[in-house]
Structure 1
Amino acid sequence: MAWKTLDDMDLNGKRVLVRVDINVPVADGIVTDATRIERIVPTVNDILAKGGKPLLIAHFGRPKGKVVLDMSLRVPLPALEAALGRSVAFIETLEGAENPTAEVEAAEVALLENIRFHPGEEKNDAEFAARLAKLGDVFCSDAFSAAHRAHASTEGLAHHMPACAGRLMQAELEALEGALGQPVRPVVAVVGGAKVSTKLELLGNLVEKVDHLVIGGGMANTFLAAQGIDVGKSLCEHDMTDTASEILTKASAAGCDIVLPADVVVAAEFKANAENAVVANDACPADQMILDAGPAAVEKISTILDGAKTLIWNGPLGAFEIEPFDTATNSAAQKAAQLSKAGSLTSVAGGGDTVAALNQAGAAADFTYISTAGGAFLEWMEGKTLPGVAALQG
């Protein structure tokens, strides 16, 4: 992949505009999960070590081109300073960045106020991007999670100055290229979640790229229904069964093995520890719902993983939020983690529910790579070109 990294840039004495993603969850003004902030630390430290001066550019929330005080980057600033282990000069306005105070000039690291306060950001306005570019000498893109947006600070800046990928962007691109671009086979994809309709492009792309596609969650019910199986009161998109059939046909033509659960866990109600039973996938009682894959299904997934070299994971296999319907997700995730730790499997996972499920299973730490990007991770898996990545290749 033809993009530069920090290793290719002379940063000594240079002002480096660093697009980061510190759009973190907050409750009562306090950051509740600093993962995204922690992931940018290597980039900032490497820029400093190379004699550069980082000016961090980021968004927070969706202010839609207006100043919204609740969405000020002052909110995550303390968590940013804690992660970096140093003070960060806060710049209130673009004018303040253009005419820096003595305090900002003296600071090792500075943070510009929410870039989405400016209407030119999301419009990818060329004049706005040019104005931003004058604040620095080099552009370092480290927000893969925003790379599917063609905004001034994610795409526009790359056309105005020397550009490179930061350490997080580099890690994301290398992990995804290893998983889908030039993977070691056999390749397995685990795709779960509630709806086929939200992952149509993803499934369509994967059947042409992977050897085994494991489908779980509510999506699996739609595929079972497409095969004429009665899924009772299960979450199921009955209007998508024709589409599911088309995906099955496409997979068959591509030599991709679609894996649906042979047995399932059913219950009459969706609540923790509800009375449940394991039945064959075609034996769901009319008044009950499928809430998880069964033990035989998990055993089959484990066998497939044993023979795999590369795994891509997006979405849970069942209603992982409530016990005991987290069993299949936990078991399969732990198996993948075990193989990854042993060095026989390269595992890449991403998506909000996915990260939560893998953390809950205690498996995330042993996966080869966990992406912090939501939409960008999915769009990459769908085979789409991400503007923020394409700009770095230009």
Structure 2
Amino acid sequence: MRLPRSVETADVAGKRVLVRADLNVPLADGRVADDTRIRAARPTLRWLLDHGAAEVAVCSHLGRPQSDADRTRFAMAPVAERLRSLLPDGRVRVLENTRFDPRETANDPGFARELARGMDVYVNDAFGSAHRAHSSTEAVAHLLPAYAGFLLLDELEHLGRLLGEVERPFVLVAGGAKVDDKLAVLENLGGRADAVLIGGKMAEQVRVANPLSFPVELPLDVVAASSFDADAETQVVDVDAVPDGWLGLDIGPRTARVFAAAVRGARTIFWNGPMGVFEWERFAAGTRAVAEAVADADAYSVVGGGDSVRAIQELGLADRVSWVSTGGGASLELLAGVELPGVAAIPEA
């Protein structure tokens, strides 16, 4: 895999540095609800400060602003406040939401020039946005000496291990609602895996019309519900015995045992997507069983995708996983074999 040059090779003493970070965090009541991504940005920012950067200007998008009203909802002020509390250094300033300017997503060179104005060095540490060819992730990298931050490099290293020779058995676990979003990853990794376990709504889609070119393991039983509701009537049934009009909202206990056994016996694991509607406790057992098996396995384990990452963190198991990816769509594209624009724009190491 092509690796971009590291920020560690940059001369930043006395320089003004533009950093593209991934500070796209959830907000609640005008405050940061989860600062995981802000904390993940700190090592690169700390390194720049420790090595004498005169100024560090941090830019990021936040949400998907569509209207003038969103300029208040998605303003960077709460993020900047939280970053200041974690990294109290007057040399750091947070720029306003890059997506407030429509030129950002158009990868407009004029907007890139505005971001680069007065800056001496550019560092991209936003792996979660590296699959987007936007002004702050791609165009600006051609205007300043460009380097990769520590988080970006860590993501490339850890995810890249799945694309090379892996220790076997290699088990791939996929779930969630949409097979289309993960089809390219499944095709790229699944044919090399020793077992591909599919749960969640994705399992229903694959069962009806399997678009994959290799065998997969689907649920044997499900927790069926009379409606899509946290308090709906439920029963555990075989997959071919779901009552008409009912929904499978979690893998059943038999499937959970089979999936967990396969995961625990693996030496390499990639898990993306929950096994059911884990946000509701009555339908969380399947996802919990997989998460615990990933944590228990004597394996190189990678968890990616917002919902599976959320599950592993809420269960307190993240520190027992080899790598928890912050990447979302970027992780999927990288593992599908796609070159990421934000990475390609940085010179090689």
> TM-score, normalized by length of structure 2?
0.90
- State the partner residue of 2:323: 369
Q: CA deviation at 1:63?
A: 4.0
Q: CA deviation at 1:79?
A: 0.9
What residue ranges of structure 1 are gaps of 5+ in the alignment?
88-106, 227-240, 252-256
- State the partner residue of 1:379: 333
For 1:1-394, what aligned pairs fall within 5 Å after superposition? 1-52=2-53, 53-63=55-65, 68-84=71-87, 86-87=88-89, 107-224=90-207, 226=208, 241=209, 244=210, 246-247=211-212, 250-251=213-214, 257-272=215-230, 274-339=232-297, 344-393=298-347
The one-letter code matched in structure 1 to 2:266 is: A
Q: CA deviation at 1:376?
A: 1.7
Residues 284 and 17 of structure 1, relative CA distance in 2, 3 Å threshold? same
Distance in 2 (CA, whole Å) between partners of 1:63 and 1:223 is: 34
Residues 43-63 of structure 1: CA deviation (Å, up to 9, x unaligned): 111111111232212222334
Q: CA deviation at 1:110?
A: 2.2
Q: Alpha carbon RMSD of aligned pairs, Å?
A: 2.4
Residues 127 and 182 of structure 1, relative CA distance in 2, 3 Å threshold? farther
Q: Which moved more, 1:319-328 or 1:354-363?
A: 354-363
SS of residue matched to 1:292: strand
Contact 1:64 1:119 in 2 (8 A): no
Contact 2:172 2:190 in 1 (8 A): no
Q: CA deviation at 1:264?
A: 2.5
Residues 230-264 of structure 1: CA deviation (Å, up to 9, x unaligned): xxxxxxxxxxx2xx1x41xx11xxxxx41112233
Distance in 1 (CA, whole Å) between partners of 2:24 and 2:311 is: 21
SS of residue matched to 1:291: strand
Contact 1:215 1:259 in 2 (8 A): yes
Residues 196-244 of structure 1: CA deviation (Å, up to 9, x unaligned): 34433333333234222110011112333x3xxxxxxxxxxxxxx2xx1
Residues 173-193 of structure 1: CA deviation (Å, up to 9, x unaligned): 111111234433332111101
SS of residue matched to 1:24: coil
SS of residue matched to 2:193: coil
Residues 51 and 123 of structure 1, relative CA distance in 2, 3 Å threshold? same
SS of residue matched to 1:184: coil
Residues 290-315 of structure 1: CA deviation (Å, up to 9, x unaligned): 22222222222223223322211111
Higher relative contact order structure (alpha carbons within 8 Å, sequence separation ≥ 6): 2
Higher CA-based Rg: 1
Q: CA deviation at 1:82?
A: 1.1
Distance in 2 (CA, whole Å) between partners of 1:75 and 1:306 is: 41
Distance in 2 (CA, whole Å) between partners of 1:273 and 1:63 is: 34
The one-letter code matched in structure 2 to 1:346 is: Y
Distance in 2 (CA, whole Å) between partners of 1:382 and 1:366 is: 25
SS of residue matched to 2:182: helix
> TM-score, normalized by length of structure 1?
0.80
The one-letter code matched in structure 2 to 1:37 is: I
Q: CA deviation at 1:287?
A: 4.9
Distance in 1 (CA, whole Å) between partners of 2:60 and 2:84 is: 15
The one-letter code matched in structure 2 to 1:111 is: V
SS of residue matched to 2:242: coil
Distance in 2 (CA, whole Å) between partners of 1:268 and 1:74 is: 44
Contact 2:270 2:301 in 1 (8 A): yes
SS of residue matched to 1:349: strand
SS of residue matched to 2:282: coil
The one-letter code matched in structure 2 to 1:167 is: F
Contact 1:64 1:116 in 2 (8 A): no
Residues 279 and 380 of structure 1, relative CA distance in 2, 3 Å threshold? same
What residue ranges of structure 2 are gaps of 5+ in the alignment?
none
SS of residue matched to 1:129: helix
Distance in 1 (CA, whole Å) between partners of 2:66 and 2:138 is: 18
What is the aligned length? Answer: 345
